[in-house]
Amino acid sequence: MDAGYASASVATQHGGEPNPLDTTVLCLLSLDGGGVRGLSTLYILKGLMTRLNHERQNAGLPNVKPCEVFDLIGGTSMDGLIAVMLGRLKMDSSWLPVNWSGKVKARFDSAELRSAVEDAISKTDAFSADAFNDGKKRGCHTDGSYTLPDEGEIPATICQAALATSAATVFFDTVSIGARQFVDGALGANNPVDEVEGEAGNIWSSDTGDLKPLVKCFVSIGTGHPGKKALEDNIFIARWAKHYDEKRYFRFNADQGLQEVGLAEYEEQGRMEAATGEYLQHQAQKLRVRDCIKNLQQKQSVYLDDFA
């Protein structure tokens, strides 16, 4: 990537007071980039959350949102935008990023994307010009909404952060924040799982350098296309093989039915939803989904007072 540009992947950190039953239990969520195909990750996440909340209802517990379950949510490209909305703005997984039926059209217009993002933000209790890092503790706040020791802070607004991570150069203009320019994070990290791991390590295991013992559940959701980083992704999976075997690492990716969906083909929303639904109903995936839900059910760090 050219000097002066930065890859804008987004991560969100779960806040709240420590629960003594949950001091060494982290749940992490990584969302692949992939343009409009990023909707597939949202459909998969929605499927997981629907099943989780069904089990919670059966146990007499209230429904939860992703920001109340995951300690860190990372995404890139369109899924960076999704991470901002799920984390910083506390939306649930039924939220649709933008109105694909016509608000943002193929060969997208940057002004239209900004308008769509501002419209989505307006439906929450936040404002587009609110600082990404406002110093407040909340269920989730995005990378930049907390400051790590010895790391500089980028003074971005919520809207700027959302636009920066989804600024694919073939579709949208680059986004300037201060003296820095940002392009779509997927240009360097279509699957941001390494970045999520690194960010979690900086937050929770900087003293030991060993994150794995702290992670109870690591969920990675793809967009149906491995891209050029498939080998690197497999290396990551091999590194987390113990967690996979112990049903603590889960990779979900609707790799069938999305092959012909282009990055900009918003008209294919129905096909993506159908392909994702079929994927989750496959017997092999049913077992993995069941195991993932069992894991997430045990998460204790849910602070409903933070979400009033």
Q: Where are the domains of the chain?
A: 5-307
Q: Across residues 146-175, what is the average pLDDT?
A: 50
pLDDT band at 51 (very low <50, low <70, confident <90, very high): very high
Strands 10-14 and 72-75: antiparallel
pLDDT, position 274? 80
pLDDT, position 268? 58
The DSSP annotation for 80-144 comes to HHHHHHHHTT---TT--SS-TTTTS-SS--HHHHHHHHHHHHHTTTS-TTSBS--S---SEEETT
Average pLDDT, the chain: 68
Catalytic residues: 77, 184
pLDDT, position 187? 44
Q: Lowest mean pLDDT: which of 104-108, 112-116, 160-164, 212-216?
A: 104-108
> Burial, 300: exposed, middle or buried (Cβ in 10 Å; 0-12, 13-18, 19+)?
exposed
In terms of DSSP H, where are the helices of the chain?
38-58, 78-87, 110-122, 158-165, 193-204, 230-239, 241-245, 269-281, 283-297
pLDDT (tens digit per residue) in 2-22: 333 333 444 555 555 544 444
pLDDT, position 130? 47
Query: Which has more pLDDT, 71 or 300?
Result: 71
pTM (two decimals): 0.72
Contact criterion met (CB below 8 Å) for 275 and 224: yes
Rounded percentage of the chain residues whose pLDDT exceeds 70: 49
Query: Which has more pLDDT, 161 or 28?
Result: 28
Q: Across residues 221-227, what is the average pLDDT?
A: 72
Q: Across residues 200-208, what is the average pLDDT?
A: 88
Strands 175-177 and 5-8: unpaired
* CATH class of segment(s) 5-307: alpha beta
Q: Across residues 165-177, what is the average pLDDT?
A: 43
In this structure, is the dihedral angle defined by the CA atoms of residues 110, 113, 119 and 123, taken in order, positive or negative?
negative
Q: Is the pLDDT of residue 167 over 60?
A: no
Structure tokens at 230: 């498939």
Contact criterion met (CB below 8 Å) for 258 and 268: no
Q: Across residues 114-137, what is the average pLDDT?
A: 55
pLDDT, position 267? 54
Q: Across residues 18-40, what is the average pLDDT?
A: 69
